[in-house]
Amino acid sequence: MSHKDIFNRIGRSLHWLVAIGFIALSLVGIYMANVEAWALYPVHKSMGILLLSAILLRVCWRLWRGWPESAVPQSRIERMLAKIVHRLLLVGTVLMPVSGMFYSGASGHGFGLFGWQLVAENPDPQRPGQVLAYDDFWSALGEQVHEIAGYLLVAAVLLHIAAALKHQWIAKQTRLRQVNNRGSC
Ligand code: HEM
Ligand code: HEM
């Protein structure tokens, strides 16, 4: 196997690792926030922090290897749109865990990695069971960014999947046409 094949394989594996983790965390996040499934919060936070290491590795990989060329021919508009969505997705994958950590940390809820505490909870002595924010500004900013970017990124991912399926379909049609043309010679 050539070096180029190995690099392509690593790039693709990182894409799928981050893609699957990101989709799963978005679904769990939306579910737990809407039905107040408190037991899922520490799992969501731990998985998000764990995924951040793969996300940072992927960002370094992209900066080092550059952006891959599209496998199918695209119009100028499609190329530009894909470029914007891909960059948004890459930035979004960093923004989500970072804003989540700011929100959970600054709000006083704290977070950890599967039981290993990274930022401690800040219990309110006046109200048992409640927490006191360490910093209201960073807590509110983290919450807003995590929520708004979360829903915007779900839309961007759906657009990205639709484009990938369309490319897959075009590539399949092109292959079929080539086979048919060869058959009729
Ligand atoms: C790639 C990683 C992550 C993704 C894709 C993600 C996605 C989401 C989404 C879509 C929501 C629902 C939107 C909302 O109501 O806020 C959510 C909620 C939440 N996330 Fe994340 N998240 C990630 C990482 C993290 C991390 C690392 C933390 C904290 C350490 C965190 C803490 C939270 C909290 C506390 C909520 C509930 C917010 C509420 O109750 O309003 N998330 N997440
Ligand atoms: C089922 C889900 C997904 C499918 C089928 C898919 C498919 C693809 C394909 C085929 C490409 C190459 C594009 C081209 O040739 O022009 C690509 C690139 C890319 N995808 Fe996805 N993807 C999925 C989910 C995601 C998710 C969830 C993210 C991030 C949140 C993501 C981020 C990216 C980025 C940033 C690129 C640009 C190239 C690169 O950095 O590797 N994808 N995806």
- Using one digit for the tens of pLDDT, what is the confidence trace for 39-53? 999 999 999 999 999
The pLDDT-based confidence of 86 (bands split at 50, 70, 90) is very high
Range of the domain at 78: 3-159
8, 9, 74, 89: which to mutate for ligand 2, most atoms within 8 A of CB?
89
What value does the mean pLDDT take over residues 129-151? 97
Instruction: Determine the pLDDT at residue 170.
Output: 82
96, 101, 118: which to mutate for ligand 1, most atoms within 8 A of CB?
96
Other C-beta atoms closer than 10 Å to the C-beta of 37 total: 13
Instruction: Determine the pLDDT at residue 69.
Output: 82
What value does the mean pLDDT take over residues 55-78? 89
Residue 179 covered by a domain:
no
CA of 160 to the centre of ligand 2 (A): 7
CA of 13 to the centre of ligand 2 (A): 11
Residue 10 covered by a domain:
yes
pLDDT, the chain, mean: 93
What value does the mean pLDDT take over residues 147-161? 96
Least confident interval from 54-68, 74-88, 135-149, 171-185 = 171-185
Indicate the residue type of 15: H
Residue 39 tokens read as 């037991």
Least confident interval from 2-6, 96-100, 162-166 = 2-6
Which residue, judged by its Cα, is nearest atom 17 of ligand 1? 29
pLDDT of 185 > 70? The answer is no
Cβ–Cβ < 8 Å for 110, 122: yes
Residue 174 covered by a domain:
no
Instruction: Determine the pLDDT at residue 8.
Output: 87
Residue 166 covered by a domain:
no
Other C-beta atoms closer than 10 Å to the C-beta of 106 total: 21
Residue 176 covered by a domain:
no
Number of domains making up the chain? 1
Q: With CA atoms as reference, report the closest residue to 16 among 152, 150, 164, 169.
A: 164
Residue 178 covered by a domain:
no
Residue 128 covered by a domain:
yes
* Ligand 2 proximity of 22 Cβ (cutoff 6 Å): yes
Instruction: Determine the pLDDT at residue 162.
Output: 95
CA of 79 to the centre of ligand 1 (A): 31
Cβ–Cβ < 8 Å for 86, 164: no
pLDDT of 29 > 60? The answer is yes
Model pLDDT for residues 93-132, shown as the tens digit of each residue: 999 999 999 999 999 999 999 999 999 999 999 999 999 9
Residue 123 covered by a domain:
yes
